[in-house]
Structure 1
Amino acid sequence: MARVQRIVVKIGSSSVAGDDTPLHMPTIRRLVKEICQLRDAGVEVALVSSGAVAAGMGRLGLTERPRVVAELQAAAAVGQNLLVHTYESLFARRGVAVGQVLLTAGDILDDRQRYVNVRNTFRQLFRYGAVPVINENDSVGVVELKRQLGDNDMLAAYVANLVQAQLLVILSDVEGLYRRYSRGRGEELITEASGDDDMSGVIGRSASRLGQGGMATKIGAAQLLMACGEMTVIAHARKHRLADIVAGANVGTLFLPRGRRLGSRKRWIGYASPTQGAITVDDGAVAAITEQGRSLLPAGVTACEGVFATGDVVRIEDLRRREVGRGICRYAVAELAQILGRSSPQVRSILNRPAMEVVHRNDLVLT
């Protein structure tokens, strides 16, 4: 934790919303105070806040989360204004500016230029000393964002990936990840998890009527950042403190990074770029790119599908159609189809030019 200089904090709807009021002000006040304390200590913090729909429900007198898209969007439109105004006024009392950032899936996943533009916006907000307050653009993009990203847990992971935060803290109504669940209650808290741990048997579900996320989405968010070389902590919003988490206290569940930190370009290739097709490779090629760090050559490719051009990002799959990685392809699909399984001399003969790697190792990310 000593190297943490930038963090993303995500707080869930069940923690933001009050029981009898649209917002639970004691939790929000404490959160703002703790973010300002971290900021004063030199840590840059971005806040991903759920709660727009929940706050809108409270203001509109709704007791159950809407299921119809138009109703969700209406509740979000009402609640988003209340939520951001609350954050803005609380931060302003401490002399801190906030920058509201509403994101859709397209801002993160559609193309490289939009991705870079959003990243540059965050960088400038940090330079100004402002705290970015982020939410999905529920009022216009519910269906799109839920389909492509999931919920705010995954949005927070994508934001952390985008800004290269060393730590994502997911604050919820649970104290962390439990070894097992019985009658809806967690038993035996897991304090530390690594990439080698099997998570299939430890996924529970939030009982909240307000939020969308359960433990599965939180683990998915943590796994994305583990692959990027970053840490994630799942903790309780009303019991655990940010300063303790950043100081390395034994609270919640800490997910450790798998390996070295990925650079910005590889983060985009692996976890933010749209894929235009898939390449199937044999077992030898899988071993070459995963164990030996080599580039993918035409000789190891057995099939290709999709409509992709030179420079597009494609999925790399093994013979059992499991994704191994993603990368920028140096051939268009029509060219690649002609040279499947061919050696470099054969490729030169077929295409009448020197053979290239299908995906160079500098353009390849293992997923």
Structure 2
Amino acid sequence: MPIARLSDLADSSLAPRLVIKVGSALLVGPEGVRRAWITQLVAEIAEARGRGQDVIVVSSGAIALGAATLGLEKGGRGSLADAQASAAVGQIALSGLWAELLGAHGITAAQMLLTLEDLEDRRRYLNVTATLTRLLDAGAVPVINENDSVATQEIRFGDNDRLAARVAQAAQASAVVLLSDIDGLYDRHPKLPGAKMIPVVAGVTAEVRAMASTESNSGMGSGGMVSKLQAAEIAELAGICLVIGNGQHERPVARIVGAKDREGIGTLFVPRRKAAARKAWLGGRLRLKGEIVVDDGAAAALGRGSSLLAKGITAVEGVFSRGDPVAIVDGAGKVLAHGLSEYDAAECAAIVGLHSSEQEQVLGYSPRSAVVHRDQMVLK
């Protein structure tokens, strides 16, 4: 039976493995580390473990902690160099804090620092999966953060919402709980009159995306509602539920999950589909090497489950090699699918609009069955 309501998150038979993401503003306040709050959250993690649930923590806060130690302005985000230096200092304090507080409950903490490439490269992604599985089997709680001391703007997630969703994919988790500074998703900006929180969302649609706000109330984190919806889409591909809830309260997980006599407070995103493991990984990729533009006929064929043929391509953008991930878009720029190209960009451009019978003369060899095969493609 799938997860259908927030209280199901406390049922180890329905949610045997949870990923809990903690934002910077929840961990670090104006006076420094919010130790009392973190202690309560750790107690909730211990309770979940007592119910038979595995827990993975995705923890922000390293940059904020390091900036306070180094005395850097703007929370350490004034420049890339400041952020990298702050992360290098703050990560020691952050991992030590989690290890100490989890250790008080007899739980071993394990630190993992990941970059975007660790989860975008298929081989490294599988290595992450193997490490997480072994740690959980051994009874540890992995505490994960982006490796901000080496990440640059071009090779970083930029927010831990999407990192949490990708980690959940890799760990084959049941649900992701994003502890944030807002109760959930509202049908309009929550500051507007009449704004209503939506308790359950069945899939992220265009209408749902229109409700998102890019603002983060704290000014300390890097993820607004847009990044949370992107995280929900990544989780959905793997059949994983995602919850947005307010972490600013005591025992925040209990408030979100609720109880038999009390409804939880938060927004539960219930997936409409579940892609195969490789397609879920492919569809959740954040870095694509190029775009292939298709006509209306090809767009319709993709929707019916067909592979992408050169005949339906109208343009090729970007520089990519065979096997690189690309976006397939329609003439209006709407992303239809992600897939792995069977040709490099120059070859794709050379066979745009050609039938298979015409391609060999251009390529100098027998053409492949498709430009992007349906087995290497996931529809968006």
What pairs with 1:138-287 in structure 2 (closer than 5 Å)? 138-141=148-151, 143-145=153-155, 148-181=156-189, 187-194=195-202, 195-196=204-205, 197-203=207-213, 205-239=215-249, 241-242=252-253, 245=256, 249-259=263-273, 261-272=274-285, 274-287=287-300
Q: Does 1:293 align with 2:294?
A: no
- Retained in 2: the 8 A contact 1:52–1:75? yes
Aligned to 1:79: 90
What pairs with 1:50-69 in structure 2 (closer than 5 Å)? 50-60=60-70, 64-66=74-76, 67-69=78-80
Q: Does 1:306 align with 2:309?
A: no
Aligned to 2:11: none
Is 204-213 or 278-287 further displaced after alignment? Answer: 204-213
Letter in 1 for 2:265: V
CA distance in 2, matches of 1:286, 1:149: 29
Is 193-202 or 78-87 further displaced after alignment? Answer: 193-202
CA distance in 1, matches of 2:244, 2:58: 14
- Retained in 2: the 8 A contact 1:348–1:355? no
In the TM superposition, residue 72 of structure 1 has moved relative to its aligned partner by 2.6
Aligned to 2:51: 41
Aligned-residue RMSD, C-alpha: 2.8
Aligned to 1:356: 369
CA distance in 2, matches of 1:64, 1:24: 19
In the TM superposition, residue 344 of structure 1 has moved relative to its aligned partner by 3.8
Aligned to 2:355: 343
- CA separation of 1:270 and 1:180: change in aligned 2, threshold 3 A: closer
Instruction: Deviation per CA, 1:222-242: give whole Å up to 9, x if none.
Output: 233234432211111143643
Aligned to 1:131: 141
CA distance in 2, matches of 1:91, 1:324: 44
Is 180-189 or 306-315 further displaced after alignment? Answer: 180-189
- Retained in 2: the 8 A contact 1:65–1:209? no
Instruction: Deviation per CA, 1:278-312: give whole Å up to 9, x if none.
Output: 2221111111112x112222322223243433333
CA distance in 1, matches of 2:188, 2:318: 41
In the TM superposition, residue 100 of structure 1 has moved relative to its aligned partner by 0.3
CA distance in 2, matches of 1:172, 1:125: 26
Q: State the TM-score, normalizing by the size of structure 1.
A: 0.87
Structure 2 unaligned blocks of 5 or more: 9-13
Same amino acid, percent of matched pairs:
41
In the TM superposition, residue 246 of structure 1 has moved relative to its aligned partner by 5.6
CA distance in 1, matches of 2:20, 2:161: 10
- CA separation of 1:137 and 1:180: change in aligned 2, threshold 3 A: same
Q: State the TM-score, normalizing by the size of structure 2.
A: 0.84
CA distance in 2, matches of 1:187, 1:258: 25
- CA separation of 1:279 and 1:212: change in aligned 2, threshold 3 A: closer
In the TM superposition, residue 185 of structure 1 has moved relative to its aligned partner by 9.2
Structure 1 unaligned blocks of 5 or more: none
- Retained in 2: the 8 A contact 1:298–1:358? yes
Equivalent pairs counted in the alignment come to: 361
